[in-house]
Amino acid sequence: MVKTVLKVIDPAGLHARPVSILCSAAGKYSSKIEIEYGEKRANLKSIIGVLTLGIKVNSEIVIYADGEDEEVVMSSLVELMKTNKIAE
């Protein structure tokens, strides 16, 4: 299992557009991928699950990946979030 801590920088937080981008990317991998905010966790492959976390700008999130492609998953998702100015 690998994990990465990021800070949300999108002014609207994790709203529908960035969550859709993340979930679509996560769905391409076989690893279990989760996002944690505060004391709650959600499957990063579930748009509804992630949206229910209510993640706001400047929030700290943790992404977990567990599986055979976990390293690729993590580097890909971190790059995606930085490129789309979702998190840093």
Closest CA to 24 of 85, 65, 80, 63: 80
Q: Which residues pair with 63 in a beta bridge?
A: 4, 35
Active site residue 4: no
Q: Which of 7, 15, 40, 85 is catalytic?
A: 15
Closest CA to 63 of 80, 78, 48, 47: 78
Place of tokens 């492609």: 69
Given CA atoms 37, 42, 44, 49 in this order, what sign does their dihedral have? negative
Q: Which residues are known to be catalytic?
A: 15
